[in-house]
Structure 1
Amino acid sequence: MPPDSPLPPANPASSAGPEKRFSELFELAPFSIQILAPDGRTLRVTRGLIQLDRTVLDPMAIVAGAVEQARPLVEARRHVLCVDGDAGGARIVGDANRLVQALVNLLNNAAKYTPPGGSIDLSVARQGTTLSIRVRDNGLGIDAALLPHVFDLFTQAERSPDRAQGGLGIGLALVKTIVTLHGGQVVASSDGPGAGSEFTVTLPCVVQ
């Protein structure tokens, strides 16, 4: 798809790799890119922003939708996926498609970076006016030096020498963008290589 406005021509003498050049273009404005979602839809990102169609949502429906979309990859890699907890009747305001996409990215990330036959746990809990959704795996883990940068563009691709498995490394960056636009936060934690990883999304609940 052509960009919405001309971009600077590439410098053939530049020593920067294609990922660095794309990262630089990602910061330019105005521009737009389209990213293919697992369900065949395209996720359009313009100037780094995502347009939201906000409604009052049942978080458990979001979780169910994400699990359904991520299941093919989880099953292909022979993982065991366990879903636990509930939202305690809480509701959130947001875009259902975008929130599902964020959780799908987290589940797919866990599936990719966990050796075949691993385990992935998704838990939901409500603490007062905050809803938390955690995705935990027993996979490769994240080095302490890389942990602060996991939501940066292309960092995900650097976690593994297998670029075919790691992808472009934009999935977690999109997760952070989507969650932030919903007034929430997403944090990553890991005890290091081989110790698995955990990603926690927190979102504000609707006051009823």
Structure 2
Amino acid sequence: MEERILVVAPLGRDAQIVERVLARQAIECVICESIAALMARLGEGAACVLIVDEALDTNALESLDAWLSLQPPWSDLPFILLMGNGKKGIPTADGRRLQALGNVMLIERPVSSEALISAALSAQRARRRQYQARAMIAERAAANERLLAAARQKDDFLAMLAHELRNPLAPIRNAAELIRQTDNDLPQKIQWAAEMIARQSQHLSELLEDLMDVSRITTGKVTLKRGTVELGPILVAVADAARSALDSRCHTLSLHLPDAPVFLDADPTRMAQVFGNLLDNAAKYTPDGGQIAIRASVDAGHVLVSVEDNGSGIADDELPKIFELFSQSYRALDRAQGGLGIGLSVVRSLVSMHEGSVEAHSRGLGFGTTIRVRLPVLLSPGTSDSPARVEATQRFSLEVLVVDDNVDAADSLAALLEMKGHQTRTANDGPSALDQCKLQQPEVVLLDIGLPGMDGYEVARRLKAIPAMSAVKLVAITGYGQPEDLTRAKDAGFDHHLVKPVNPDGLMQLFKDFRYS
């Protein structure tokens, strides 16, 4: 069907001549008595259309023009126009209009057999290439769809994996925090075990976040919450957060900040993630008792922050590749140090999203590593009109309902909150949570999303429908942390969305915000 030629010739003699000449090359011809008859056959496919000028008229060309305008991008149907009628080499007005439609070749009558065959074969070759292009486009579209489907499956798998791993992480981290805060007179080995559990669960939590961030970044789902932030406090907080891991390896950390404050247009959470990842790497790949330094300096409208260590270093041929996803440098092959080869890839992506750059330097294996991050600074930072809130020093208490089908997670979080002076109750499914809220209205509900039967979204919607619960603060506590999960939580009525395992200090700060709001 794709090799045939559609011939539009109202006069029988023209049709016979064309058909007889082309038959010498075994070219199939389909005779159409008018443009209207041609239109009925075009949908079946053709190599080209041969039209004698007598078949042309304005109405027919309007129909043909409309059909050609609907051709897909790969298609440019060839036309051969036989001209004559005593007007040597000069097309009629309708002929000129046909030429304007696109891929048209003129042949003058009386017809030369060689010219007709050559034109027909040329049109067939051109059309064949178009059909090959169509096949390639379809193949690429199918391949792209397969890639998109694989990417969706990967994202779904990562989200489910993170959720399933976060669920057991939450009670482990809560239990470690409980032990840490229960009694300073605990035996030294018990204290050591609690600190180790807390440290390793935090490390696992950070690995999960890095893994999820790779998926978010590659699919464009990371949204920065940028504002005017001061760099110094971020670096101090990062150093404080890493203190336990550094002390466990007997590392010495020095922090060198500029004399004047440095302000950035940045997402403070993502900036802390960048420098936290770099400091974590330095601690992991530096032998016990190592020296680590964070240095920040301002030059030409940019701040340069370097994280330096005297650890295992990086070979020259590995340096260009360490920011690539899943890169496994020589030092990363020491699996005792952990890591997925994704942390530095996340760092580079986040720094790039802040219009910055990052580079690595090392004099070789055994000579330490320096990672330098360069970011634009705000020369005239804005100031906040709202006065700083003075935190009350007295202890306060909130009535909190913890809802989680993981009994260990619910009980351990409730126990941790009780140690902070809050009054808590627990429920392990949606109906029980609703019943408890009707009997005694809590001020805060920490609600798991993945509940059996009635999920957390439905529980939230029903809670918000209870008049006495209109002022309750709903906090989603879940293993699902994709941007669409935050949107669903907000739509269901949640005030906040926290990802398991919940940072106790962050939760306490959120409770303070509730208290003063």
TM-score (norm 2): 0.33
Secondary structure of the residue aligned to 2:242 is helix
Letter in 2 for 1:54: R
Which one of 50, 55, 80 corresponds to residue 227 of structure 2?
A: 55
**Matched residue count:** 186
Shift, 1:85, TM fit: 2.7
Name the structure where strand makes up a greater proportion of residues: 1
The aligned counterpart of 1:81 is: 253
Most deviating of 155-164 and 30-39: 30-39
Secondary structure of the residue aligned to 2:370 is strand
Secondary structure of the residue aligned to 1:126 is strand
Which one of 293, 296, 299 corresponds to residue 121 of structure 1?
A: 293
Letter in 2 for 1:203: L
Name the structure where helix makes up a greater proportion of residues: 2
**Distance (whole Å) between structure 1 residues aligned to residue 318 and residue 227 of structure 2:** 36
The aligned counterpart of 1:109 is: 281
Where in structure 2 are there 5+ consecutive unaligned residues? 1-147, 167-201, 381-517
Distance 1:135 1:95, change over 3 A: same
Paired residues of 1:156 and 1:172 also in contact (CA < 8 A):
no
The aligned counterpart of 2:155 is: 31
Paired residues of 1:118 and 1:138 also in contact (CA < 8 A):
yes
Letter in 1 for 2:303: L
How big is the alpha-carbon RMSD for the aligned residues of Structure 1 and Structure 2?
A: 2.7
Say which one has the larger Rg: 2
Where in structure 1 are there 5+ consecutive unaligned residues? 1-5, 9-24
Most deviating of 53-62 and 31-40: 31-40
Q: Which has the higher contact order (CA 8 A, sep 6+)?
A: 1
Secondary structure of the residue aligned to 2:316 is coil
Shift, 1:30, TM fit: 8.7
Measured against aligned partners, the alpha-carbon deviations of 1:74-108 in whole angstroms (never above 9, x if no partner) come to: 11111000001326322101110110011010001
Which one of 310, 313, 333 corresponds to residue 161 of structure 1?
A: 333
The aligned counterpart of 2:268 is: 96
Shift, 1:162, TM fit: 2.5
Distance 1:65 1:161, change over 3 A: same
Letter in 1 for 2:298: R
The aligned counterpart of 1:69 is: 241
Shift, 1:69, TM fit: 1.8
Distance 1:38 1:69, change over 3 A: farther
Most deviating of 94-103 and 68-77: 68-77
Distance 1:157 1:76, change over 3 A: farther
Distance 1:125 1:29, change over 3 A: farther
The aligned counterpart of 1:196 is: 368
